[in-house]
Amino acid sequence: MTSPLLEIRDCDAFYGDSHILHSISLEITAGSGVALLGRNGAGKSTLLKSIMAAGPTVRGDIRLNGDAIMRLPAHRRAAAGLSLVPEDRRIFPHISVAENLLMGRRATRNGDTPLTLSQVTELFPMLADLLDRRGDQLSGGQQQILAVARGLVSKPQLLLLDEPAEGLAPIIVQDLAEQIAGIRERAGTSLLLAEQNVSFARHCTEQVFVIDTGRIVFSGGWEAFDADAERIERFLAV
């Protein structure tokens, strides 16, 4: 049997003395789109950062394509095929959109070539007219598209997206969902999407994990999610 793309076995995560994630185990198969739902403070960002080695102290086993990556620092996990788009987006304000995109090349896997600017604008046509614009001259929605696009420049196997829809107007959220669903199809990237917006997440993924106070309390497809909606709702209600 081939290994899953990502496999997390019995992981715990800590910020200092605070024990945030408890015995997390999950698998993501290559090519799939997976939503990670949970209310504020549930541990979504902590899990994405644990996968990327981007903050918390982590114990347990994380494997990418069957290879243990626990000892690798973030830049080597990026080179191994992971890309994290953090919740604060980190668009550089004083450089152009094109230069922001080129920053994403640093994370390219050994021996692989990053996407060119024209390949990026093929995936995200709305960026084509914005390439010379400075980062701080973009709207919130444009910044989010840029952050997602930059995360894809290194051609990751697995894109970790942290609440891309947060703070965006509903019409822009709809557009973003279509763009993300579209690039999954065209770029063939697997996706782990942390979200609180259930309908947005549903549009972009097939599988769901629900996390509550650092524990996985549901995993399955959207049909199983709907069948279990009454129980799940209390983990998502604010």
Ligand X SMILES: Nc1ncnc2c1ncn2[C@@H]1O[C@H](COP(=O)(O)OP(=O)(O)OP(=O)(O)O)[C@@H](O)[C@H]1O
- Which tokens sit at 98? 């094109």
- Asked whether position 110 contacts ligand X by CB under 6 A, the answer is no
Q: Interface residues for ligand X in 61-90 (CB under 6 A)?
A: 87
112 binds ligand X (CB under 6 A): no
* Exposure b/e, 48-79, CB count within 10 A at least 16 = b: bbbbbbbebebebebbbbeeebeebeeeebbb
Number of residues in contact with ligand X under rule CB under 6 A = 14
Interface positions, 181-210, toward ligand X (CB under 6 A): 196
C-alpha dist (Å) from residue 135 to 21, 95, 102: 34, 6, 13
Q: Which is nearer to ligand X, 16 or 111 (CB)?
A: 16
CB of 44 to ligand X, least distance (A): 3
CB of 153 to ligand X, least distance (A): 24
Give buried/exposed letters for 121-157 (b at 16+ CB in 10 A, else e). bebbeebeebeebbbeebeebbbbbbbbbbbbbbbbb
State which residue, 45 or 108, has the beta carbon closest to Mg ion.
Answer: 45
Of these, 24, 35, 36, 45, which contacts Mg ion (CB under 5 A)? 45
Between the CA of residue 24 and those of 6, 47, 85, what are the distances in Å? 13, 9, 21
What are the structure tokens assigned to 134, written together?
């400075």
Cβ 196 to ligand X, closest distance in Å? 6
Q: For the purposes of burial, counting CB atoms within 10 Å of the CB of 120, is it exposed (0-12), middle (13-18) or buried (19 or more)?
A: buried
| 57 versus 137: smaller Cβ distance to ligand X | 57
- Name 26's bridge partners: 8
Q: Check residue 157 for interaction with ligand X (CB under 6 A).
A: no
- Which residue in the set 9, 18, 106, 136 belongs to the binding site for ligand X (CB under 6 A)? 18
Among 28, 34, 35, 42, binds ligand X (CB under 6 A): 42
The tokens 């990502």 sit on which residue? 6
Chain contacts with ligand X (rule: CB under 6 A)? 15, 18, 20, 38, 40-46, 87, 163, 196
Binding residues for Mg ion, rule: CB under 5 A, are 44-45
